[in-house]
A and B are shown apart, each in its own frame.
Chain A
Amino acid sequence: MKRRTLLKAAPAAGLLAAAPWAANSQSQTAPAPGTDLPPQGWRTFEVVHRLEVAPSPGPVMAWVPLPLTNKTEWFETLSNTVSAGNAETKIVTDPVFNAGMVVATFKAGEPAPVVEVTSRFRTRDRFIPLKAGAGTPASSQEQALFLRGSESAPTDGIIRETALKITKNAKTDVEKARAIYDWVIENTERNPKTRGCGEGNVKAMLETNTLNGKCADLNALFVALARAAGVPARDVYGVRVTTSPRGYKSMGPKPGVITKAQHCRAEFYAQGIGWVPVDPADVRKVILEEAPGLTANDEIVKKSRSMLWGGWEGNWLGYNYAHDVKLPGSRLAAVPFLMYPQAENAQGRLDSLDPDNFKYVITSKEITG
Chain B
Amino acid sequence: MPGSKVCLAGRRALLAAALALPLAGLTRAAEPGELQPWTGKTDAPRIDLLHPDGTRFDWDALRGKVVLVNFWATWCQPCVAEMPALQRLREQLGPEGFEVLGVNIREGPARIEPFVRKIGIRFPIVRDTDGAVTKAWGVGVYPTSFIVDRTGLIRYVLVGESEWTTPAVLSRIRPLLGPAPGR
Contacts and interface: CB of A to CB of B under 8 A. Distances in A.
14 contacts: A191-B9, A193-B75, A194-B11, A199-B9, A208-B8, A209-B13, A209-B15, A209-B16, A210-B6, A212-B9, A349-B130, A351-B106, A351-B111, A357-B108
A208 B11 contact: no
B9 A333 contact: no
A317 B39 CA distance: 49
Contact of A208 (B6, B49, B111): B6
Contact of A210 (B8, B18, B54, B77): B8
Interface string A202-227: 01111111101110010000000000
A36 interface: no
B103 to A, nearest CB: 13
Interface residues of B, number: 32
A350 B8 contact: no
Contacts of B132: 332-333
B contacts with A: majority SS: loop
A351 B106 CA distance: 6
B127 A348 contact: yes
Nearest to A348: B129
Lowest 5 CB-CB distances: which A-B pairs, in order?
A348-B129, A204-B140, A332-B130, A194-B9, A351-B108
B18 A207 contact: yes
A166 to B, nearest CB: 17
Contacts of A333: 130-132, 135
A323 to B, nearest CB: 14
Interface string B1-35: 00000101111011111111000000000000000
Given A207-B19, A208-B13, A351-B111, A213 B8 contact: yes
Given A204-B19, A348-B49, A349-B106, 13 more contacts: A193-B10, A194-B11, A195-B75, A201-B140, A203-B20, A207-B17, A208-B141, A212-B8, A217-B9, A333-B131, A347-B129, A348-B127, A351-B107
Interface string B26-48: 00000000000000000000000
A207 B141 CA distance: 10
Classify chain A: how many residues form its interface, as a range: 20 to 34
A106 B1 CA distance: 54
A207 B20 CA distance: 8
A34 interface: no
Contacts of A214: 9
A198 interface: yes
Contact of B110 (A204, A347, A357): A357
B110 A191 contact: no
B153 interface: no
A182 interface: no
Contacts of B127: 347-348
Interface of A: 191, 193-195, 198-199, 201, 203-210, 212-214, 217, 332-333, 335, 344, 346-351, 353-354, 357-358
Contact of B54 (A195, A206, A217, A347): A347
Nearest to B127: A348
Contact of A354 (B11, B17, B110, B130): B110
Given A207-B20, A354-B111, A347 B50 contact: yes
B111 A204 contact: no
A324 B8 CA distance: 19
Contacts of A194: 9-11
Nearest to B135: A333
Contacts of A217: 8-9
B51 to A, nearest CB: 10
Contacts of B131: 333
B111 A212 contact: no
Nearest to A191: B11
B129 A205 contact: no
Nearest to A196: B9
A208 B18 CA distance: 7
A366 to B, nearest CB: 32
A205 B8 contact: yes
